[in-house]
Structure 1
Amino acid sequence: MNAIVEISAAQALVDQLIANGVDHIFCVPGESYLAVLDACYERNVKLTVCRNEAGAAMMADAYGKATGRPGICFVTRGPGAANAFAGVHIAQHDSTPMILFIGQIERSNRDRGAFQEVDYRAMFAGQTKWTAEIDDGARVTEYVSRAFHVALAGRPGPVALALPKDMLEERVLPRPCPPAAAVETAPGAEAMDALATMIAEAKRPLFVLGGTRWDETASRRMMDWASAFDMPVATSYRRLPLFDPLHDCYAGDLGLAANPKLVARARASDLFVLVGGRLGEIPSQGYKLLDIPAPRTRFVHIYPQGEEFGRVYAPTLAIHASPKAFIEMLAKQEPPAVRPWREETRQAHQDYLGFSRSFAPSADVDLAQTMIWLSDHLPSDAVICNGAGNYASWIHRYFRFRSYNSHFAPTSATMGYGVPAAVAIKRLYPERLVVSLNGDGDFLMNGQEFATAVQYDLPIIVVVCDNASYGTIRMHQERNYPARVVGTDLRNPDFAAYARAFGGYGARVERTQDFPEAFEAARASGLPSIIHLMMDPDRITPTANLSALRAEAFSRQ
């Protein structure tokens, strides 16, 4: 009989990642977990080495969003973990499965204030589903297996595991666990019958889709069901790809700067059905869409984690189910013979179509026309990645996402997400066109990851919308402190030259009509590219100018 050969705890850790289907790790290297990097070398695990831990964590988040499996990020202790915190915050708010592994000091030096020592349970307690430190190398497989189960269960989210340097070097027996799988909780027949009765009794129903735990099949089934029921369907904040915008039943996006007609329609509904989402501050229009805690309309909430029911809104009917399992059951229902909302559904779609193409042209580069051009000319499977800033309101209103998994953006509105996410998605889907849309302040939060795109030959196209300010903050400043501008102006570099300095392609666009040529040239270059858009600083949203906001603010004084 052959004796079992011991391996290092680091090797056992990587083996358990592989057992769970991990084929990619995002990291910034650190001496605290060199044993893991060596195990990745030995086992030929694919790494994306980033320039900042924030970028690495955001890439892991984007990977988790795209695959539904935990994105994996490795960072070193202390400052490395601090930098990664922003990505963990995104994963927590966005319900993204993710596991952050953190190098840690040797166990023998614990509680001495050793070099870069941090208590990670305290640091990440409020932002993860579970944070732990592995003290015993023999339990590495157990901890990693549990991390996958926790990240995927119920409402998905981030897990953080600290790895003492000396623990990783211990010799252990290989004891791999089977891969973790999310449990697709299905609704009961009684709940589905109650929902069918509510639909049959409704005159102004509205379905709103959000959250995670979806897949392309569920999205398609939802569209087929909506067609059969003539049901108006809206999407929640930054969940636009869940429903085809050109479908006859699509009513629009309940996000930032939502169509006022859709908001009015939601408030007037007599049956509001939320599938998979939480109806947070932005989609609820500042918690004013429904009454709290008891909505006056019938409110049906479908969610995979029971603790969410009644957290803000007390539902008329709570259905504990994942979107995939719920929609599989929903698709089996027969539509009522009488559907009084049919014409309202058609009108809701016409309202969306008009809203997503109407605009007042602005000087310099008109972002509405630019988004419309992108929407009309990009391949249907193209991917848009963006961070946060007022520029994103043009994306929500004017870009029509025609395929599932085509938009990656943080619901926490974290700046600096667009470039790291684009790098991750291009690594995952090299055949798809990936475009990163950014504000000027937004881009420079994590613009260093453009170097990562160059290093791995990832021809992403980065668009930087430059209005020389932190535009969202400036907008609020003008509303509350008109003409008292402080702290919101920016002096920006030549972003096209920035691209060329890294070895990419760069172009500057000062007129709307020049954008298509610049975009096609960037695409033809085959290089990571930056297109620098010179924006009108006064045009702050699709519907508002700073000068008008300032004048309105003065009139109130």
Structure 2
Amino acid sequence: METTGMTQARRTEARLGGHILADALVAQGVSHAFCVPGESYLDLLDGLYAQRNRIQLVTCRFEAGAVHMAEAYGKLTGKPGVAIVTRGPGACHAAIGVHVAFQDSTPLVLLIGQIPFEETDRESFQEVDYRKMFAPLAKWVTQIDDAARIPELMAHAFDVATSGRPGPVVVAISEEMQKEMVAVPDIGPAMVAPPHPAPAAMERMMAMLAEAKRPLAVLGGGACWSAEGRADIRDFLQANDIPVAVSFRRQGLFDNTSPHYVGDLGVGADATLVAKVRECDLFLAIGTRIGETVSQGYTLFDMAGGTPIIHAYPDQSEIGRVYRPALGITADMNAFAAAAKATRPIANPAWAGWRAELRAAREAQARPGSYDGPLNLAIALQELEKALPPDTIFTTDAGNFATWPTRFMHLTEGQDFLGPTNGAMGYSVPAAIGAKIVHPERTVISFVGDGGFLMTGQEIATAFHHAVNPIILVFNNQMYGTIRMHQERHYPGRVSATTLTNPDFAKFIDSFGGHGEIVETTEELVPAVQRAIASGKPAVVEVRTNPEQVTNRSTIAQLREQARKAAAKVPVAQPARVPAPRRVGPRTR
């Protein structure tokens, strides 16, 4: 009743545009906003001050960090994360986070302060045309120049961010528009029933499944899944004894300890699993785009549909975009999961041996091997997973180090795994801080390389400022490891631009007053992380890894030897014979 009364009062009282913007965020149910302040949206900041009891404004140190935090919020809650940055350089810094949200299908609304609109097209100070800049990176880009349209355009921004395939929306807010005084009503979220799968489609799916001998399901998507939806799709897949993989960096969607979990189809996927996908006779893509990583570089299927594909996805435009499915199902993924769970399971499915074979391959590849040096990271990570709470949130950066937890760790139900599917470095630390702000009661572990940490590691100051304590594991091998791997494969021994000089990361966090440790052996990792958690402070645990072990499957020496053997098999190209010119007359000088 109180909210209704306030809304009625606002319909008759004029407000500043900046305050209407803040009130529009409240009307859309926003609880957190992540920002780097700028003079282009001072009036919005003042409006947020007025709403400080409803919206927690998180002050960040870099715009990319702010958007990564908002993106992590979107992944964890399913609601649009909100980031606010200033014009020009601020917007450019924020662009990488928008790209993450786009390729990860995460709902996000980015507000950008803009120049006064009467100065447009004069190359005014920090002027950028955001419609052009963000057109390929966002679902929708708009600019608000009339304060009376704020509620309308903001409501639509949130609708677009969450509808169909979720994603980012960019809203530029011109400076003088925020100073306008107008009387306009607030607009709340639209109550829209999610699209449900057609009953005939579900019947067809089960008929196709009954005819299969080697089915395989792949789960994808992030923010589109609720806890109930994940439980429903789990129950459906297990009731039908279907082997389940996850798409790139989606380990949190399915219990990795389940006998039905068979691994991930992403960067560094197990070669055995990839080979088995080629053998499957029914591929169920559930909530995932069948993009470059899932299809292993568009090599697993033929585009005409030689392998029957059932593709369930919330946006019809993605179904058949590359691969023609035998059956496409457009539906909200949680509604699809509920409908799938309600179907009658296949009686005596014919693929129990197939599922067991795939599971055995997963268990084999997750078995730690022997690695030179005092630190066996595979063993250390498996010991760590046993020591962490069952509701731990993991965030990961991009890089070769990230393949170690993906391959060797086993996430369980109740745990979340956040990672950028577009391969953005600098994601993990701010995402961990954002996750800890959203869920301060849960343990948050960040996996990041030494290269990625020094891109956004300064955001640890945000953790101190807002009194949250993520645990950052910095895997330090003193190089850009992924690029070095490719370098050694294609130009062995010719090391260029990939070696790094690093600080003492433990002393770095100590300078803030946090908890820092250095790990150099297998046995040291778990006690170090436990001490970090017990400290109650933001913490950095520097894990010094063997630079020679550039991947979890190959050393630099092995990559060089492979490159040498590959080069020896390629015949040296001979120059083409050029026939001598014909003489058509006497020789002259």
Please confirm whether the aligned pair reaches a TM-score higher than 0.5, indicating the same fold.
Answer: yes
Listed one character per residue, the Cα deviations across residues 410-461 of structure 1 (whole Å, up to 9, x for unaligned) are: 0001000010001000000000000111100011110110111111221111
1:316 Cα deviation from its structure 2 partner: 0.8
Q: TM-score, normalised by structure 2?
A: 0.92
User: Which amino acid letter does the alignment assign opposite residue 391 of structure 2?
Assistant: D
Deviations along 1:445-492, whole A, 9 cap, x unmatched? Answer: 101101111112211111110111000000000000011001000011
Structure 1 residue aligned with 2:43: 35
Q: What's 2:337 paired with?
A: 327
Q: Which amino acid aligns with 1:84?
A: A
Q: Which residue does the alignment assign to 1:352?
A: 362
CA distance in 1: counterparts of 2:215 and 2:331, whole angstroms: 21
How many angstroms apart in 1 are the aligned matches of 2:235 and 2:60? 42
Alignment-mate amino acid for residue 150 of structure 2 = V
User: How much has 1:227 moved relative to structure 2?
Assistant: 2.3
Whole-Å Cα distance in 2 between the matches of residues 134 and 124 of structure 1?
A: 15
Contact 1:236–1:279 at 8 Å: present in 2 too?
Answer: no
Alignment of 1:58-457 (within 5 A): 58-180=68-190, 183-212=193-222, 213-291=224-302, 293-404=303-414, 406-457=416-467
Q: Is the 8 A contact 2:392 2:415 kept in 1?
A: no
Task: State whether residues 389 and 472 of structure 1, in contact with CA within 8 Å, keep that contact through their aligned partners in structure 2.
Answer: yes
Corresponding letter in the other structure for 2:507 = A
2:392 and 2:414 in contact (8 A); partners too: no
User: SS at the partner of 2:132?
Assistant: helix
Give yes or no for the alignment of 1:6 onto 2:17: no
Shift of 1:111: 1.4
**CA deviation digits over 1:329-378, x for unaligned, max 9?**
11111122231101221232232223223322231432212221221111
In structure 2, relative to structure 1, the CA distance for the partners of 1:541 and 1:506 (3 Å cut) is: same
Deviations 1:90-128 (A, max 9, x none): 000000000000001112212111110110101100000
What is the distance in 1 between the residues matched to 2:85 and 2:283? Answer: 43
1:203·1:270 contact (CA, 8 Å) conserved in 2?
yes
Q: Deviations over 1:489-512 (max 9, x none)?
A: 001111011111122111111222
Paired position in structure 1 for 2:585: none
Equivalent residue, structure 1, for 2:5: none
Do the aligned partners of residues 181 and 211 (structure 1) sit closer, same or farther apart at CA in structure 2, a change above 3 Å counting? Answer: farther
Segment drifting more, 118-127 vs 514-523: 514-523
User: SS of the residue aligned with 1:499?
Assistant: helix
Aligned amino acid, residue 474 of structure 2: V
Per-residue deviation, 1:290: 1.4
Residue of structure 1 in register with 2:584 after alignment = none
Is the 8 Å Cα contact of residues 98 and 138 (structure 2) preserved in structure 1?
yes
Structure 2 CA distance for aligned equivalents of residues 382 and 446 of structure 1: 22
Larger Rg: 2
Deviations 1:379-412 (A, max 9, x none): 1101111110000001111121113461111000
How far is 1:183 from its partner? 4.8
Q: 1:403 to 1:362 in 2, by over 3 A?
A: farther
State the SS of the aligned residue for 1:391. Answer: helix
> Is 2:24 the counterpart of 1:24?
no
Structure-1 residue corresponding to 2:552: 542
Q: 2:443 and 2:60 mapped to 1: Cα distance?
A: 21
**Secondary structure, in 3 states, of the residue corresponding to 2:400?**
coil
Deviation at 1:522, TM superposition (A): 1.2
* Letter of the structure 2 residue corresponding to residue 23 of structure 1: S
Identify the range of structure 1 (250-259 vs 465-474) with the bigger mean alpha-carbon deviation. Answer: 250-259
Q: Distance in 1 between matches of 2:271 and 2:492?
A: 26
SS in 2 for 1:200: helix
Query: Aligned AA for 1:12?
Result: I
- State the alpha-carbon separation in 2 of the partners of residues 253 and 155 from structure 1: 22
C-alpha contact (below 8 Å) 2:257/2:411 kept by paired residues: no
Distance 1:163 1:147 in 2: 13
1:489: which partner in 2?
Answer: 499
Return the offset for 1:174. 3.3
In the alignment, is the contact (CA less than 8 A) between 2:549 and 2:556 conserved in 1?
yes
Tell me the CA shift for residue 87 of structure 1. 0.2
Between the aligned partners of 1:362 and 1:254, the Cα distance in structure 2 is: 28
User: 1:423 & 1:535 partners in 2: Cα distance?
Assistant: 24
Q: What amino acid sits opposite 1:220 in the alignment?
A: A
State the alpha-carbon separation in 1 of the partners of residues 451 and 105 from structure 2.
Answer: 26
Higher deviation after alignment, 398-407 or 135-144: 398-407
1:152–1:181 Cα contact (<8 Å) kept: no
CA contact (8 A) 2:134 2:170 kept: yes
Q: Given that residues 148 and 180 in structure 1 are in contact (C-alpha distance below 8 angstroms), is that contact kept between their aligned partners in structure 2?
A: no
8 Å Cα contact 2:71-2:81 kept in structure 1: yes
In 1, the alpha carbon distance for the partners of 2:479 and 2:19 equals: 48
Contact residue 54 and residue 85 of structure 1 kept, 8 A? yes
Q: Unmatched 5+ residue regions in structure 2?
A: 1-7, 568-589
Counterpart CA distance in 2 for 1:425 and 1:312 is 34
Secondary structure of residue in 1 paired with 2:311 = strand
> Does the 8 Å CA contact 1:274/1:301 hold for their aligned counterparts?
yes
State the identity %: 44
Report the Cα distance in structure 1 between the residues aligned to 2:370 and 2:293, rounded to whole angstroms.
25
What does the per-residue CA deviation read over 1:230-263, in whole Å, with 9 as the maximum and x for residues that have no partner? 1111111111111111222222211222222222
Deviation at residue 182 of structure 1 after TM alignment = 6.2
Tell me if structure 1 keeps the 8 A contact 2:109–2:161. Answer: yes
Which segment is superposed worse, 223-232 or 534-543? 223-232
- The CA deviation at 1:325 is 1.1
TM-score, reference length from structure 1 = 0.97
Question: Which stretch of the first structure deviates more once superposed, 327-336 or 120-129?
Answer: 327-336
Contact 1:153 1:183 survives alignment (8 Å): no
CA distance in 2 between partners of 1:180 and 1:462 (Å): 39
Worse overlay, 414-423 or 216-225: 216-225
Distance 1:295 1:265 in 2: 17
Q: Retained in 2: the 8 A contact 1:364–1:535? A: no
User: Contact (CA 8 Å) 1:254, 1:263: kept in 2 or not?
Assistant: yes
Tell me which of 463, 473, 477 is aligned to 1:467: 477
Query: Aligned to 2:84, what secondary structure does the other structure show?
Result: strand
Cα distance in 2 for residues equivalent to 1:468 and 1:276: 37
Where do 5+ consecutive residues of structure 1 fail to align? Answer: none
How far off is 1:228 after superposition?
1.6
